[in-house]
Amino acid sequence: MKPTLLILAAGMGSRYGGLKQIDGLGPNGETIMDYSVYDAIRAGFGKIVFVIRESFAEEFKKIVLKKFENKVDCQICFQSIDKVPAGCTYNPERTKPWGTNHAILMGKDLINEPFAVINADDFYGKDAFEVLARFLQSVEGKKNQYCMVGYRVANTLSENGTVSRGVCEKDENDFLTSVTERTKIENKSGQVVYTDENDQDVELNPNAPVSMNMWGFTPEYFQYAEDEFKLFLSQHGQELKSEFYIPTLVNQLIQNKTITCKVLDTTSKWFGVTYAEDKPQVVMKINGLIKQGVYPYKLF
């Protein structure tokens, strides 16, 4: 059975000022997602599941899904704030969904095989999908053996503002030992720093592996996520902006020795459009990869 790719595409793109998931960046209007789907198909993924907002479903089907007809099995599911486990309550004034781990839960009824999770608006690269597909094929029929693709933090920054990253620690066998969400990471005077809870700058090793939300799981992860989400809502459900992050749960499952999570090395360089000003740089990098022959001029 081929693994599935779950693409988290429900973000509002607030910083970028629009639906950046369907913004054309390739020479024929290809989106970053198109490159991810192309890479996934050639790496051996058999199904793509998109998590989107219902409000732009028609636009999404017309602009995105149409391209993949007859290329790969595609399905969509919707993330909305009211999709919570039975009996759970939350602040009625809240308008924003619950983050990446909540988004994963939307795919629970569509996925019964090893699966990868990525963001729609991140460019991960050919090699990253290959190493991820190989790992997921190796855990077919197994449980509690997960993975994440690790990128060097210095290779994931934006020149146009700060970024948030899950900073990883791993043991001598490349198993993840902890992942800590760090916010406001940037290059300041040649040093990579993040802002801590006391508003102080803390230096980071530029080669520290970070999670770019490229994970590999087997299906029992959905149950762990649902159980933890119930607990999360009981503690944070009345807050307006708290988010249920993937690294938080993975970290907890590692500490409890429930799972192992291999940090996969990749030669791919991540890039993305966090801010509108990042777009020209991304277009240039995609054109460079086309010139090198990594991608055809026209994807689909």
Query: What was the pLDDT predicted at 292?
Result: 97
| pLDDT (average), residues 33-57 | 94
Find the angle CA(34)-CA(37)-CA(41) to the nearest 5 degrees.
140
pTM: 0.89
In this structure, which long-range contacts are made by residues 268-271, counting pairs with CB atoms below 8 Å and at least 24 apart in sequence? 268/124, 268/125, 268/126, 268/127, 268/128, 268/149, 268/151, 269/125, 269/151, 269/155, 270/122, 270/123, 270/124, 270/125, 270/128, 270/151, 270/155, 270/156, 270/212, 271/122, 271/123, 271/156
The structure tokens listed for 56 are 């732009």
Query: What was the pLDDT predicted at 13?
Result: 47
The structure tokens listed for 212 are 């770019």
Residues above pLDDT 90, as percent of the chain: 60
Query: What was the pLDDT predicted at 87?
Result: 84
> Residue 143 pLDDT > 80, yes or no?
yes
How do residues 146-204 score in pLDDT, each as one tens digit? Answer: 999 999 898 888 888 898 888 999 999 999 998 888 989 999 989 999 998 899 999 99
Question: Cα separation of 113 and 105, whole Å?
Answer: 14
Q: Token pair 């006391």 is at which residue? A: 198
Query: What was the pLDDT predicted at 12?
Result: 44
Q: What CATH number does the domain located at 4-149+210-254+267-291 have?
A: 3.90.550.10
Which residues make beta-bridge pairs with 200?
Answer: none
The structure tokens listed for 272 are 């993305």
Query: What was the pLDDT predicted at 192?
Result: 95
> Residue 88 pLDDT > 70, yes or no?
yes
Query: What was the pLDDT predicted at 74?
Result: 95
Contacts of 73 (CB under 8 A, 6+ apart): 46, 47, 48
Query: What was the pLDDT predicted at 41?
Result: 97
How do residues 237-290 score in pLDDT, each as one tens digit? Answer: 888 888 898 988 999 999 999 999 999 988 888 988 777 788 899 999 999 999
Which ranges constitute the DSSP H helices of the chain? Answer: 32-43, 57-63, 100-105, 126-138, 221-236, 246-255, 279-291
Query: What was the pLDDT predicted at 17?
Result: 43
- Give the DSSP letter string of 29-93: S--HHHHHHHHHHHHT--EEEEEE-GGGHHHHHHHTGGGGTTTSEEEEEE--TT---TT----TT
Domains in the chain: boundaries: 4-149+210-254+267-291
How do residues 197-228 score in pLDDT, each as one tens digit? Answer: 899 999 999 989 998 999 999 999 999 999 99
Query: What was the pLDDT predicted at 266?
Result: 87
Query: What was the pLDDT predicted at 16?
Result: 41
Query: What was the pLDDT predicted at 14?
Result: 46
Give the pLDDT band of residue 22 (cuts 50, 70, 90): low
Summary mean pLDDT of the chain: 90
Classified as helix, coil or strand, 202 is: strand
